[in-house]
Amino acid sequence: MIDFLNAYKRYDPAAKSRWEIALLYPGPKAVALHRLAHALYKMDLFFLARLVAEVSRFLTGIEIHPGARLGRRLVIDHGMGVVIGETAEVGDDCIIFHGTTLGGVRFEATKRHPTVGHRVLIGAGAKILGPITLGDGCRIGANVVVMRDVAPGEKITLESAAHVKT
Amino acid sequence: MIDFLNAYKRYDPAAKSRWEIALLYPGPKAVALHRLAHALYKMDLFFLARLVAEVSRFLTGIEIHPGARLGRRLVIDHGMGVVIGETAEVGDDCIIFHGTTLGGVRFEATKRHPTVGHRVLIGAGAKILGPITLGDGCRIGANVVVMRDVAPGEKITLESAAHVKT
Amino acid sequence: MIDFLNAYKRYDPAAKSRWEIALLYPGPKAVALHRLAHALYKMDLFFLARLVAEVSRFLTGIEIHPGARLGRRLVIDHGMGVVIGETAEVGDDCIIFHGTTLGGVRFEATKRHPTVGHRVLIGAGAKILGPITLGDGCRIGANVVVMRDVAPGEKITLESAAHVKT
């Protein structure tokens, strides 16, 4: 747990203390409540699991389906509008910003959400869609839409040149 | 009402039961409260109508102006950050994802928000702006910005080739 | 205060009265609570300042770090998902729409968020990142990502031609 709060402290210069992070930040609350929801989900208590997830969404603005599998020391920063789907998997030491979606593009009950590696950074507003894989250490820029596999270490950004007109 | 919940169940493989959808999903709550807000709005009870809309926004993260006209079996999935403007119109059997805006680009009190046809799908984070028309059955991809009419059946996506650099 | 509410009334044709704006709109609440949080922050009461900011985020969906400096008559419209960082500065008479981020791209405790001039309009979902400057009177379109300085009066939009395929 200390380990987890340190992950926030290490990268957020605006955080003044661990108390502030543990008590006031939405990200740690959402991840802690997801651990509970996921345990209920694995016991086939789907309604109860979803209830916990909806309470968490109401308190934090972060929506994580109880079925999602999240790695260690996941930092969800700011978090409002984050949506993580039922069959999504996220590795260790990732940083996910607000407005990010790990979502699906098909309506069948198979693996339909992304698999995210370790040490991945996903910028604000990015949409990662479909049963694709984001390789270890890749970085996805703000507002980017990704619908294909991303190689380890790759960086993807909205090319600013493509949308500038004066 | 059953009809309405079936629309969710049909397309969301993560939904385990109709009870879960009716009691825990934000979309059906937002649409139900909007029906009330819209009725008050048509009786010129603007303050009360807006109050209902703000309570709905607080509970669901979905902001629908009381003046908006919404069709049957509208599915608003996840919903956080959805904004639908006063003069927007939405047809039947549409699916709208979280972060979508049906908004305006001018500050005059005329028809200034989009008209959306039937069976339209609008992806997460898309911004549909101005008094434009989205034709029946068209599909708007995640994070796309649309400021022109879209033909029936047309598909628009953020061209991934345009924003990839390694 | 009247001055401030007039700024909303002037540009929002959906607003029926100043009472509606003062009591029901999230933007004025978020800005008022930020004035309090910022005063606490300047007295080095960081935990208390952050507590006020988190209460405001819970009530309004708008997250403004207590350290941010905001100009007069700032209109934050709809507001859900707005994130404004600790070292961000915003001039007078700006309009910021929902989903906007004034954020950072580095993890050091220096000036790392944008400086926004006067009379700037920032569209829904836009991400303004890094210690850059947006010149007076510039306009940033919906979902645009800006990571460079923007000249006074400049307009930037997501080039619709770049992402249309039929």
pLDDT of residue B102: 98
When pLDDT is averaged across residues B58-75 and rounded to a whole number, the result is 97
Q: Which two tokens stand for residue B86?
A: 């006063």
Calculate what percentage of chain B has a pLDDT beyond 70.
95
pLDDT of residue C112: 95
Confidence of residue A7 (pLDDT cuts 50, 70, 90): confident
In the predicted model, is pLDDT for residue C113 greater than 50? yes
Nearest of B133, B147, B145 to residue B158 by alpha carbon: B145
* CB distance C80 to B80 below 8 Å: yes
Q: Which two tokens stand for residue B91?
A: 């047809």
Burial of B36 (0-12, 13-18, 19+ CB in 10 A): middle
Chain C residues in contact with B154 by the CB 8 A cut-off are: 166
Inter-chain contacts counted by CB atoms under 8 A, chains B and C? 98
**Distance from C-alpha of B124 to C-alpha of B143, rounded to nearest angstrom:** 6
**Angle at C105 (CA atoms; ends C102, C107), nearest 5 degrees:** 115
When pLDDT is averaged across residues A8-26 and rounded to a whole number, the result is 83
**Distance from C-alpha of C150 to C-alpha of C138, rounded to nearest angstrom:** 7
In the predicted model, is pLDDT for residue C153 greater than 60? yes
> Which residue on chain B is closest to C13 by alpha carbon?
B109
> Which residue on chain B is closest to A112 by alpha carbon?
B13
**Angle at B11 (CA atoms; ends B8, B14), nearest 5 degrees:** 85
When pLDDT is averaged across residues B95-119 and rounded to a whole number, the result is 94
When pLDDT is averaged across residues C137-153 and rounded to a whole number, the result is 94
Confidence of residue C3 (pLDDT cuts 50, 70, 90): confident
When pLDDT is averaged across residues C131-160 and rounded to a whole number, the result is 91
pLDDT of residue B159: 60
Task: Give the 3-state DSSP-derived string for A78-114, with helices as H, strands as E and coil as C.
Answer: CCCCCEECCCCEECCCCEEECCCEEECCCCCCCCCCC
Pick from C51, C101, C122, C140 the residue to mutate for testing the A interface (most A CBs within 10 Å). C101
* CB distance C96 to C81 below 8 Å: no
Asked if B154 and C163 come within 8 Å (Cβ–Cβ), the reply is no
Tell which phi-psi region holds residue C129, choosing left (phi > 0), alpha (psi between -120 and 50) or beta.
Answer: beta
* CB distance B160 to B143 below 8 Å: no
pLDDT of residue A164: 42
In the predicted model, is pLDDT for residue C11 greater than 80? no
When pLDDT is averaged across residues B54-78 and rounded to a whole number, the result is 97
Confidence of residue B13 (pLDDT cuts 50, 70, 90): confident
In the predicted model, is pLDDT for residue C160 greater than 80? no
Chain B residues in contact with A103 by the CB 8 A cut-off are: 97, 124, 142
Q: How many other C-beta atoms are found inside a 10 Å radius of the C-beta of residue A84?
A: 29
Select, from the ranges B151-155, C18-22, C107-111, the one with the highest average predicted confidence (pLDDT): B151-155
Chain C residues in contact with B103 by the CB 8 A cut-off are: 97, 124, 142
Asked if A63 and B81 come within 8 Å (Cβ–Cβ), the reply is no
The three-state secondary structure class of C34 is helix
- Using CB atoms, which residue from A24, A78, A158 is nearest to C50? A24
What is the pTM (predicted TM-score) of this model? 0.94
Residues 111-150 of C with CB under 8 A from A: 112, 125, 127, 129, 143-148
**Distance from C-alpha of C33 to C-alpha of C49, rounded to nearest angstrom:** 10
Q: Which chains would you list as touching B if contact means 3+ CB atom pairs under 8 Å?
A: A, C
Using one digit for the tens of pLDDT, what is the confidence trace for A138-156?
Answer: 999 999 999 999 999 999 8
> Which residue on chain A is closest to B9 by alpha carbon?
A107
Shortest Cα distance, chain B CAs vs residue A84, angstroms: 10
Asked if C143 and B143 come within 8 Å (Cβ–Cβ), the reply is yes
Judged by a CB distance cut-off of 8 A, whether residue B110 touches chain A is no
Q: How many other C-beta atoms are found inside a 10 Å radius of the C-beta of residue C17?
A: 14
> What does DSSP say about strands A95-97 and A121-122: parallel, antiparallel, or unpaired?
parallel
Chain C residues in contact with A11 by the CB 8 A cut-off are: 107
Using one digit for the tens of pLDDT, what is the confidence trace for A52-67?
Answer: 999 999 999 999 999 9
When pLDDT is averaged across residues C143-153 and rounded to a whole number, the result is 93
- Using CB atoms, which residue from B81, B157, B162 is nearest to A81? B81
Asked if B125 and C125 come within 8 Å (Cβ–Cβ), the reply is yes
pLDDT of residue A162: 47
pLDDT of residue C2: 76
Burial per residue of B62-93, b for 16 or more beta-carbon CB atoms within 10 angstroms, e otherwise: bbbbbbbebbebbbbbbbbbbbbbbbbbbbeb
Please name the amino acid found at residue C108.
E
When pLDDT is averaged across residues B9-31 and rounded to a whole number, the result is 86
DSSP class of C98: T
Using one digit for the tens of pLDDT, what is the confidence trace for B22-57?
Answer: 889 999 999 999 999 999 999 999 999 999 999 999
The three-state secondary structure class of C116 is strand
Q: Which chains would you list as touching A if contact means 3+ CB atom pairs under 8 Å?
A: B, C
Alpha helices in chain C (DSSP H): 2-11, 18-24, 26-42, 46-60
pLDDT of residue C163: 46
Asked if C17 and B158 come within 8 Å (Cβ–Cβ), the reply is no
The three-state secondary structure class of B18 is helix
Using one digit for the tens of pLDDT, what is the confidence trace for C71-99?
Answer: 999 999 999 999 999 999 999 999 999 99
Average pLDDT, chain C: 91
In the predicted model, is pLDDT for residue A160 greater than 70? no
Judged by a CB distance cut-off of 8 A, whether residue A158 touches chain B is yes
Confidence of residue C159 (pLDDT cuts 50, 70, 90): low
Calculate what percentage of chain C has a pLDDT beyond 70.
95
Asked if A158 and C146 come within 8 Å (Cβ–Cβ), the reply is no
Torsion of CA B62, B64, B70, B75, to 10 degrees: 0
Pick from A65, A83, A149 the residue to mutate for testing the B interface (most B CBs within 10 Å). A83
